[in-house]
Structure 1
């Protein structure tokens, strides 16, 4: 049970309160899939089923009833600790170095601006890496305090905490024929040129996972090493691409690009705040970690609903 997080305990207690994943999601300002994912991860860590699910009916299992007692006790202790350490929410000075994969640069600055409003004395340094492999190197060399990325590295011991859903979509020109067809299988892209990120990119890895799952191979690929260049290529009519929804807000709002209705999309991944396991966080870094875990999901949910029209 070493991997159990207090965030998972909060979500578990909230679901147990009303025996409803939907109401828990509303109360916590999360999506129902995010709540379901966290509960499944908790059950995997505990090694037992905590809820019985029959259709829309949810009930606590016997282990779940016992676990609820300890979860509430742990959360109560955490609240006492948070009160004692409340000074971290009023950090007046310090240096904070944040590392990002390039895809995260489209939303993290907005969160940092809100963080600076609360902590104006903190000196910020933003280090945007071309891809996740470069960011892993920065973490290994202790050059950043915290990293914002998708998949945590496997070859470096880290502590990783998910804070928001990360949707990825297929995009093309706003007059693409698929937009007139409605939901289409992935095979509808058979004859499209696919504009892809370079090897080592988290977006590229997620795309290849989708292709393997569906046993799909595009007729041609054009490798491009930046999201900005890919977007320009899509708008120039060179082909279609698979991109993070968080990178294309301006283009969608301006009508320069459209999300293609491919079945099974958006493909949902997660954003994580990551640090080496051995790293002791400064008060400024701890304050930002707390901030993004509390605010990141709410900020990105509003962004995603606007772009997807939901």
Structure 2
């Protein structure tokens, strides 16, 4: 929602209906005791609470990923998540490289996003969107 700047686009990405996303946001706002978003006309604006929440959520998920990697290290296996952004010209080579990587490290979940050069530096931060 925060990245999408749209209830409808967030719903589409999550595989939910727009009213379901709106209801979840309302419940979250009630739990936090303050609004997260504001509509001005048809434009959705994030409020400071939404920015703070998004930042904290990224930190929490980052900590969980690090914990998972540390626990994997203790067990002597490599697992976790690998997010890769590749420019469109590399889309024909990268799958072959990833197949070899996956054969060696089957416990690693790989996400590949094909994008243009301008999008690549920010494409792996929160990819799934």
Greater RCO (CA < 8 Å, at least 6 residues apart): 1
Tell which structure's C-alpha radius of gyration is larger: 1
Normalized against structure 1, the TM-score is what? 0.21
Instruction: Looking at secondary structure, tell me which structure has more helix per residue.
Output: 2
